[in-house]
């Protein structure tokens, strides 16, 4: 069948391109139009990597792509500001929110409230805790991603946040040891790009500004910030932050890719990261901010620093940074002076001519245009007074401004979101193993619950550190959440068992379970029908993972229970990949990876275990057999003391995640895109929906840049379709996936398979339907470092469709550009 498809493809292009009904709109080329702004770059020094050529000045925004009217309003607003007001608008202040821009009462401007984060209102009481971003990515469900983001933003808005500090497009998960992968989406730029776009649309449709963070290659926490001497002001550098050194092609095809989606979705702001990129701090890297972000991608919003990632004033401003966070004042003697590089320093730089007023005006217009575009000047809810005391970044005793709170405090913003969160929790749970028909459960008479991840956490509603007892439904750091309620597996299974009349015995002490002196079996009276083992893996901001094993002796707990219970089901709550040696145990009949599933984690797992929901989630990363199988280790130490010695060489290039395992033919336990269902799907007949456009050019026509870059890159150039069928006897969602194998003419280092399309479709048992994969120009191009453009290579592409990165059911070969 594959050969037949290949021949059919070749015939289509060469012999009879008009023979099939061509109902598709081909790409619209606009030859002759020039880019509105991309500065020429000296390409000879871009490769090999380690360089960040200067790109000055910082481009002014134009408002194109739909922000023209809002830009006019922002201009009028800027015209009414004094220099001091402008400078302080670009400078954060201690206040109730994690980031604060001061109000200007004479202009009726109530300031800006910036709040974490991607999973909840971090400082919110009476607010919801949604599924984490890695969970949302595992759903492979665009609608879920949008709905989650929209509901999250509604809660933020009701609490008075103008800006959500999220979504996270980096870390991407170059290494599974990165501890913030749960705040981001997938170890794949395409899937992360889709997640970024849907999330930003959801947030901004609710009237809240989104913030794409952390730009860029923020792939490790270790030495993410410089280390300072322990002198009085901690201002003497010992060693600078780690530099992510990336070649130009990898930067474009892997790390910048999801941010291009974010810009296309008109994200209001981007957060430059702690790490350096190719030797320069991300927040003063003019190649990154001026050339790529504001130039090549046509970003119209503002660049804000990560908290403390600003290391200069003038250099950062010239390099394209528009707002410093958290900014702030310092007390010197009797005077409050600005401790940040911006604030009064910025005013002075304007007054003495170091920075031109036009640059400062552009900074403020970039900040205020999304504000007007989203209508935030009209009846925006005031900041809820209750968020202030929950602010760990700038607690109330650090505030210098007299923040006047109006409106009700302790607002309950949850609405009915918990129903949605429960659905999302089930939709994002990945079924990895299911043998001997272990799942779904059928009214088991005798249930054992084991593991310290099953019960309630015992240290309050907000996670600040790892803890032994209790389910992990979120984690720590700026992405942490305050739980208003938490459904635990223990409680939810007990409630269900009560209805069924089942016996439930729970053993939540991992130490006890792994003690050799214990007399097994622990349970009474007979062999349990099922043992549900809840295990966890904690990971959070600030400290990378040192192991991919489950915590609290999780593997030993799994082994111990499985050796006495012949139907052991393992459920993990983890921020990312774990090695799973217990998967080979014959008594481990099922495994579910639930990640950090938010406040309805218990109910959601019951819905999947009992088959009320047919699992449909897929892994957004690889689960390897051994920790040593993963590539791209973090830079965890340097053995010299030079200031700039922390270097992380991304010399695996494009071989990130599954791309590496595929390129080196390494067996994996569970591959990227893998996840089982209670039914069985098939996919066949991958074929073009319409002929490839006959006049496709290798390089895109040079059209004026819009948010997202050259619009020609986002045009569909080729569309494939396939038939997907549910051949089992349970209704369910299938997730057909499309991967591309580039022609052999593509430069070396191109991975064998790269995700370029997916869908999530509901299929009742016995039914089939056609799914469509639209390929945009960017999807079939590689970044040509010499042309500094996206090029469709000559020769034959192979498109592979199926249900994971290693489960292809149909292929199709086609040449888009002839030699």
Q: Which of 141, 147, 188, 306 is catalytic?
A: 306
State the minimum distance, in angstroms, from the CB of residue 393 to ligand BGC. Answer: 6
Residue 612 among the catalytic residues:
no
Which one, 116 or 245, has the nearer CB to ligand BGC?
116
CA distance 536 to 228: 35
Which one, 274 or 714, has the nearer CB to ligand BGC?
274
Residue burial 89-104, b: 16+ Cβ < 10 Å; e: rest: bbbbbbbbbbbbbbbb
Quick one: which of 670, 466, 452 has its CA closest to 561? 452
Which one, 117 or 688, has the nearer CB to ligand BGC?
117
State the minimum distance, in angstroms, from the CB of residue 165 to ligand BGC. Answer: 4
State the minimum distance, in angstroms, from the CB of residue 388 to ligand BGC. Answer: 15
Stretch 460-499: interaction string toward ligand BGC, x if CB under 6 A? ------------------x---------------------
State the minimum distance, in angstroms, from the CB of residue 706 to ligand BGC. Answer: 28
Q: How far is CA 92 from the centre of its chain?
A: 25
Element (H, E) at 362: helix 357-373
State the minimum distance, in angstroms, from the CB of residue 316 to ligand BGC. Answer: 17
Q: Residue 171, preceding bond cis, omega within 30 degrees?
A: yes
Name beta bridge partners: 227. 239
Residue 756 in the binding site for ligand BGC (CB under 6 A):
no
Quick one: which of 556, 560, 533 has its CA closest to 447? 533
Which one of 147, 221, 306, 599 is in contact with ligand BGC (CB under 6 A)? 306
Site for ligand BGC in 106-135 (CB under 6 A): 116
Which one, 116 or 139, has the nearer CB to ligand BGC?
116
State the minimum distance, in angstroms, from the CB of residue 480 to ligand BGC. Answer: 10
Contacts of residue 186, defined as CB under 8 A and 6 or more positions apart, other chains included, come to 134, 137, 172, 173, 192, 195, 620, 621
**In the bound complex, which residue of the shown chain has the CB atom lying closest to ligand BGC?**
478
Q: What are the backbone angles phi and psi of residue 785, rounded to the nearest 5°?
A: -70, -25
Residue 98 in the binding site for ligand BGC (CB under 6 A):
yes
Stretch 58-77: interaction string toward ligand BGC, x if CB under 6 A? --------------------
CA distance 25 to 499: 56
Which one, 391 or 796, has the nearer CB to ligand BGC?
391
Size of the residue set binding ligand BGC (CB under 6 A): 8
State the minimum distance, in angstroms, from the CB of residue 166 to ligand BGC. Answer: 8
CB 191 within 8 A of CB 264: no
CB 304 within 8 A of CB 342: no
Q: What are the backbone angles phi and psi of residue 164, rounded to the nearest 5°?
A: -95, 130
Q: Residue 214, preceding bond cis, omega within 30 degrees?
A: yes
CB 470 within 8 A of CB 460: no
State the minimum distance, in angstroms, from the CB of residue 98 to ligand BGC. Answer: 5
Tokens (6 digits) for 338 = 């600005």
State the minimum distance, in angstroms, from the CB of residue 478 to ligand BGC. Answer: 4
CA distance 166 to 71: 23
Which one, 306 or 559, has the nearer CB to ligand BGC?
306
State the minimum distance, in angstroms, from the CB of residue 220 to ligand BGC. Answer: 12
Which one of 74, 97, 145, 165 is in contact with ligand BGC (CB under 6 A)? 165
Which one, 171 or 700, has the nearer CB to ligand BGC?
171
Which one of 247, 362, 393, 662 is in contact with ligand BGC (CB under 6 A)? 393
Name beta bridge partners: 789. 784
CB 752 within 8 A of CB 741: yes
Element (H, E) at 720: strand 716-726
Instruction: Tell me if residue 700 falls in helix, strand or coil.
Output: coil
Cα torsion at 202, 206, 211, 213 (round to 10°)? -30
Residue 718 in the binding site for ligand BGC (CB under 6 A):
no
Quick one: which of 603, 598, 589 has its CA closest to 561? 589
Strands 112-115 and 99-101: antiparallel
Residue 551 in the binding site for ligand BGC (CB under 6 A):
no
Element (H, E) at 737: strand 737-741
Which one, 213 or 811, has the nearer CB to ligand BGC?
213
Quick one: which of 210, 191, 307 has its CA closest to 262? 210
Cα dihedral 659, 664, 665, 670 sign: negative
Which one, 298 or 328, has the nearer CB to ligand BGC?
328
Quick one: which of 510, 491, 518 has its CA closest to 452? 510
State the minimum distance, in angstroms, from the CB of residue 123 to ligand BGC. Answer: 10
Site for ligand BGC in 201-220 (CB under 6 A): 213
Which one, 194 or 325, has the nearer CB to ligand BGC?
325
Element (H, E) at 264: helix 257-264
> What is the full DSSP assignment across 136-169?
HHHTT-HHHHHHHHHHHHHHHHHHT-SEE---B-
Which one, 224 or 806, has the nearer CB to ligand BGC?
224
Which one, 444 or 576, has the nearer CB to ligand BGC?
576
Stretch 574-603: interaction string toward ligand BGC, x if CB under 6 A? ------------------------------
Residue 307 in the binding site for ligand BGC (CB under 6 A):
yes
**Backbone dihedral region for residue 23 (phi beyond 0: left; psi -120 to 50: alpha; all else: beta):** alpha
Tokens (6 digits) for 137 = 């990515």
State the minimum distance, in angstroms, from the CB of residue 5 to ligand BGC. Answer: 46
Read off the DSSP letter of residue 91: B
- Cite the DSSP H helix spans in 601-705: 601-609, 658-663
Catalytic residues: 306
Which spans of this chain sit near ligand BGC (rule: CB under 6 A)?
A: 98, 116, 165, 213, 306-307, 393, 478
């Amino acid at each position: 069948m594959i050969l037949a498809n290949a021949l059919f493809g070749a015939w289509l292009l060469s012999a009879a391109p008009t023979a099939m009904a061509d109902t598709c709109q081909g790409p619209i080329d606009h030859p002759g139009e020039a880019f509105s702004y991309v500065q020429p770059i000296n390409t000879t020094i871009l490769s090999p990597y380690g360089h960040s050529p200067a790109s000055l000045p910082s481009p002014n925004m134009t408002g194109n792509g739909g922000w023209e009217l809002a830009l006019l309003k922002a201009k009028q607003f800027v015209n009414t500001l004094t220099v001091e007001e402008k400078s302080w608008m670009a400078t954060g202040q201690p206040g109730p929110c994690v980031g604060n821009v001061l109000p200007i009462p004479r202009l009726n401007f109530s300031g800006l409230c910036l709040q974490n984060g991607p999973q909840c209102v971090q400082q919110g009481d009476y607010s919801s805790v949604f599924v984490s971003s890695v969970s949302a990515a595992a759903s492979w469900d665009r609608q879920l991603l949008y709905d989650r983001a929209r509901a999250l933003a509604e809660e933020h808005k009701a609490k008075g946040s103008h800006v959500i500090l999220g979504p996270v497009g980096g870390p991407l998960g170059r290494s599974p040891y990165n501890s913030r992968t749960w705040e981001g989406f997938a170890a794949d730029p395409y899937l992360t790009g889709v997640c970024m776009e849907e999330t930003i649309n959801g947030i901004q449709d609710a009237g809240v500004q989104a913030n794409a963070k952390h730009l860029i290659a923020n792939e490790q926490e270790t030495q993410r910030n410089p280390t300072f001497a322990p002198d009085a002001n901690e201002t003497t550098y010992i060693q600078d932050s780690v530099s992510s050194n990336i070649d130009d092609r990898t930067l474009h095809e892997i790390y910048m890719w999801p941010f291009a989606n974010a810009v296309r979705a008109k994200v209001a702001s981007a957060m430059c990261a702690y790490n350096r990129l190719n030797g320069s701090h991300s927040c003063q890297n003019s190649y990154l901010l001026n050339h790529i972000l504001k130039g090549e991608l046509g970003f119209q919003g503002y660049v804000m620093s990560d908290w403390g990632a600003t290391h200069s004033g003038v250099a950062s401003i010239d390099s394209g940074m528009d707002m410093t966070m958290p900014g702030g004042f310092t007390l010197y003697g009797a005077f409050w002076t600005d401790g940040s590089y911006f604030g009064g320093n910025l005013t002075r730089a304007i007054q003495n001519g170091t920075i031109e007023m036009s640059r400062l005006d552009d900074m403020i217009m970039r900040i205020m245009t999304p504000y007007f575009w989203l209508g935030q000047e009209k009846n925006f809810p005031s900041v809820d007074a209750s968020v202030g005391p929950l602010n760990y970044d700038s607690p109330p005793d650090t505030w210098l401004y007299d923040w006047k709170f109006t409106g009700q405090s302790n607002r309950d913003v949850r609405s009915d979101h918990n129903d949605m969160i429960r659905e999302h929790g089930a939709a994002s749970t990945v079924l990895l193993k299911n043998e001997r028909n272990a799942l779904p459960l059928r009214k088991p008479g005798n249930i054992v619950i084991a593991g310290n991840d099953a019960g309630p956490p015992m240290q309050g509603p907000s996670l600040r550190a790892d803890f032994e007892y209790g389910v992990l439904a979120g984690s720590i750091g700026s992405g942490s959440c305050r739980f208003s309620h938490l459904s635990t597996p223990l409680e939810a299974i007990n409630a269900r068992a009560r209805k069924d009349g089942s016996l439930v015995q729970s053993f939540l002490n991992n130490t006890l379970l792994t003690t050799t002196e214990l007399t097994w079996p622990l349970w009474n009276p007979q062999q349990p029908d099922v043992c549900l083992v809840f295990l966890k893996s904690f990971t959070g901001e600030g400290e990378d993972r040192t192991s991919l094993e489950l915590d609290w002796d999780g593997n030993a707990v799994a082994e111990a229970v499985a050796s006495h219970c012949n139907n052991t089901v393992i459920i993990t709550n983890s921020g990312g990949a774990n090695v799973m040696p217990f998967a080979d145990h014959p008594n481990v009949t099922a495994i579910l990876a639930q990640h950090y599933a938010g406040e309805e984690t218990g109910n959601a797992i019951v819905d999947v275990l009992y088959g009320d929901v047919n699992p449909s989630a897929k892994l957004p990363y690889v689960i390897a057999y051994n920790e040593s199988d993963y590539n791209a280790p973090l830079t965890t130490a340097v053995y010299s003391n030079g200031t700039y010695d922390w270097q992380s060489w991304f010399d695996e290039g494009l071989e990130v995640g599954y791309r590496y395992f595929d390129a080196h033919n390494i067996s994996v336990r569970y591959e990227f895109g893998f996840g089982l269902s209670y039914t069985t799907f098939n996919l066949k007949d991958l074929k073009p929906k319409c002929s490839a456009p006959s006049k496709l050019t290798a390089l895109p026509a040079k059209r004026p840049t819009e948010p997202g870059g050259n619009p020609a890159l986002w045009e569909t150039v080729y569309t494939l379709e396939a038939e997907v069928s549910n051949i089992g006897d349970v209704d369910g969602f299938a997730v057909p996936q499309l991967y591309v194998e580039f022609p052999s003419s593509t430069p070396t280092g191109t991975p064998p398979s790269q995700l370029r399309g997916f869908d999530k479709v509901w299929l009742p048992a016995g039914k089939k339907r056609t799914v469509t994969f639209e390929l945009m120009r960017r999807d079939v191009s590689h970044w040509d470092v010499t042309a500094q453009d996206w090029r469709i290579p000559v020769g034959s592409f192979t498109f592979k469709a199926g249900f994971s990165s290693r489960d292809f059911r149909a292929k199709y070969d086609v040449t888009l550009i002839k030699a």
